[in-house]
Amino acid sequence: MATLKELSTRAGKFSGGHRLCPGCGAGIIVRQVLAAAKNPVVVACATGCLEVSSTIYPYTAWNTSFIHNAFENAAATISGVEAAYRSLKRRKKFGLEDQEFDFIAFGGDGGTYDIGFQSLSGAMERGHKILYICYDNGAYMNTGIQRSSATPMGANTTTSPAGKKIPGKTQFKKELTDVMAAHYIPYVAQAAPSNWKDLTRKVEKALSIDGPSFINVLSVCPRGWRTPEEKGLEITRTAIDTCFWPLFEVENGTDYTINYKPKNKRPIEEWLKPQGRFKHLFKPENKHLIEKIQKHIDNRWEMLLRRAGEID
Partner 1 sequence: MATPAKKPGWRDIPIGGRIEEAGNAHKYHVGGWRIRRPVWVKENCIHCLFCWVFCPDSAVEVHDGKMHGFDYNHCKGCGICAQECPAKDKAIEMRPEDVENKFDN
Partner 2 sequence: MTKRIALTGNEAMALVMKQINPDVVAAYPITPQTEIVQIFSQFVADGEIDTEFVTVESEHSAMSAVIGASAAGARAMTATSANGLALMWEVVYIAASCRLPIVMAVVNRALSGPINIHCDHSDAMGMRDSGWIQLFGENAQEAYDNALMAVRIAEHKDVMLPVAVNMDGFIISHAVENIEIVANEDVRDFVGEYNPERYLLDVQNPITVGPVDLQDFYFEHKRQQVEAMKKAKNVIQKIADEFVNLTGRKYSFFEEYYLDDAEIALVAMGSAAGTAKAAIDELREQGIKVGLLKLRVFRPFPAEEIVRALSHIKVVGVMDRAESFNTMGGPLFSDMRSAMYDGEANVRMINIIYGLGGRDITVTDIKNIIQKVKDVNNTGKIENLVIHYGVRE
- DSSP assignment of 91-140: TT-TTGGG---EEEEEEEHIIIIITTHHHHHHHHHHT-S-EEEEEE-SSB
When asked if residue 27 is in the footprint of partner 1 (CB under 8 A), the reply is yes
When asked if residue 31 is in the footprint of partner 1 (CB under 8 A), the reply is yes
* Listed residue (221, 224, 222, 203) closest to 213, CA to CA: 203
Residue among 228 and 309 whose Cβ is closer to partner 1: 228
Residue among 12 and 262 whose Cβ is closer to partner 1: 12
46-65 residues near partner 1, rule: CB under 8 A: 54-55, 57-65
Residue among 121 and 159 whose Cβ is closer to partner 2: 121
CB contact burial 73-105 (16+ within 10 A = b; e otherwise)? bbbbbbbbbbeebeeebeeeeeebeeeebbbbb
When asked if residue 94 is in the footprint of partner 1 (CB under 8 A), the reply is no
Residue among 72 and 198 whose Cβ is closer to partner 2: 72
Give the number of residues in contact with partner 2, rule: CB under 8 A. Answer: 48
46-85 residues near partner 2, rule: CB under 8 A: 51-52, 55-58, 60, 62-70, 72-73, 76-85
In DSSP terms, 248 is beta-bridged to 190, 258
Report the alpha-carbon distance of residue 155 to residue 272 in Å, rounded: 9
When asked if residue 16 is in the footprint of partner 1 (CB under 8 A), the reply is yes
Report the alpha-carbon distance of residue 259 to residue 264 in Å, rounded: 15
Report the alpha-carbon distance of residue 181 to residue 40 in Å, rounded: 27
Among partner 2, partner 1, none, residue 11 binds (CB under 5-8 Å by kind) = partner 1
Among partner 1, partner 2, none, residue 238 binds (CB under 5-8 Å by kind) = none
Residue among 16 and 58 whose Cβ is closer to partner 2: 58
Residues 6+ apart with CB under 8 A from 94: 88
**Shortest spacing between CB 128 and partner 2, in angstroms:** 8
231-260 residues near partner 1, rule: CB under 8 A: 231-234
CB contact burial 265-287 (16+ within 10 A = b; e otherwise)? ebebbebbebbebbebbeeeebe
DSSP 8-state assignment for residue 14: B
Footprint on this chain of partner 2 (rule: CB under 8 A): 40, 42, 44, 51-52, 55-58, 60, 62-70, 72-73, 76-88, 90-91, 93-94, 96, 99, 101, 118-119, 121-123, 125-126
Footprint on this chain of partner 1 (rule: CB under 8 A): 4-5, 7-9, 11-28, 31-32, 35, 54-55, 57-66, 193, 196, 222, 229-234
